[in-house]
Amino acid sequence: MSRPTIEFWYEFASTYSYPAAMRIEALASEAGVEVAWRPLLLGPLFNEQQGLTDSPFNAFPVKGQYMWRDMERVCEAEGVAFERPSQFPRNGLLAARLAIAGLEEGWTPRFSRLVYQANFVHDQDIASAEVLAPLVDQAGGHADAAVAAASSDAVKAQLKDHVTQAKARGVFGAPSFITADGELFWGNDRLEHALEWALRHHKTREIA
C-alpha cells in the first residue's frame, strides 16, 4: 500500500507559511503522510487575482495589524520563536530557486525552515545570497553548486511552473496544502484538516 502524500505550497515572504513549515514534517510523519515541498512566489498570483502590487497585509493595513498580532499568538501557542521583521515582505525569489535546487538532494525542508527562521526570528535579509549560502551548507547541501543551480534555466523554469500549477489549481495564498485528489486547504490552521483528508481519501482510493 502506497503512502498518502500532501503538497505543501509555500512562499518565503509569507508569514503564516513560517509556522506551517516548522511543524508540517512532524505532523505528517505522525500521520504517515509524505510531504512534497512546493516553493512558489505569491506576487504573480496577488497581482493577477487581486490586482495587488504589494502584500495584502500592506495594501490593507487593518488586516496587516491583525496579522502581526495573530502571528505572535499563533507562534507562541505552537512554541516557535517569532520576531516581527524590520522589512516586509522580503523578496523570496532566490530562496525559492535554492529550495527547488535542493529538492533532488533532499535538503529543501531543512533549508526552508532555516530561511524562515532567518526572516522571522533573526530579521535577516533573505533576498541576499550572503545570508542564504550558509543556510544551504547548514541544511546539508553545497552552497556554491546550489547558488549556480539557482540561476540555471532549469530551476528558473521549474519555479515558473510551480506558479503556473498553483494558479491552475486554485491557489491564492500561502501556505496551501493540496491532497492527491486535488482538495485545496488554505492557511496554517488548515494543516491538520488537510492531513486528515489526505489519510481518509487515500484509504478510500486504495480500497476502491
> Which residues form the interface with its own copies (CB under 8 A)?
49-50, 60, 62-63, 65-66, 69-70, 73, 77, 170, 172, 184-186, 189, 193
- Least separation, in Å, of the C-beta of 107 and its own copies? 32
C-beta of 92: minimal distance to its own copies in Å?
21
Our CB check for its own copies shows the closer of 124 and 188 to be: 188
CB of 62 to its own copies, least distance (A): 5
CB of 122 to its own copies, least distance (A): 27
- 129-139 helix and 93-101 helix, angle to the nearest 10 degrees: 30
Q: Minimal distance in Å, beta carbon 89 to its own copies? A: 18
Comparing CB distances to its own copies, the nearer of 67 and 101 is: 67
Instruction: For cell 504589494, name the residue.
Output: 54
Q: How far is the CB of 120 from its own copies (least distance, A)?
A: 20
Query: Where is 97: in which H helix or E strand?
Result: helix 93-101
Question: For residue 38, which of 96, 86, 80 has the smallest C-alpha distance?
Answer: 96
- Beta-bridged to residue 178, according to DSSP, are 7, 184
Instruction: Name which of 54 and 66 has its Cβ closer to its own copies.
Output: 66
Sign of CA pseudo-dihedral 175, 5, 185, 23: negative
* Residue 119, burial from CB neighbour count under 10 angstroms (0-12, 13-18, 19+): buried
What's the first-to-final CA gap in the chain, in angstroms? 12
Are the CB atoms for 90 and 29 separated by under 8 Å? no
Closer CB to its own copies, residue 34 or residue 183?
Answer: 183
Residue closer to its own copies, measured from CB, 149 or 178: 178
- Residue 81 is which amino acid? A
Nearer to its own copies, 24 or 135 (CB): 24
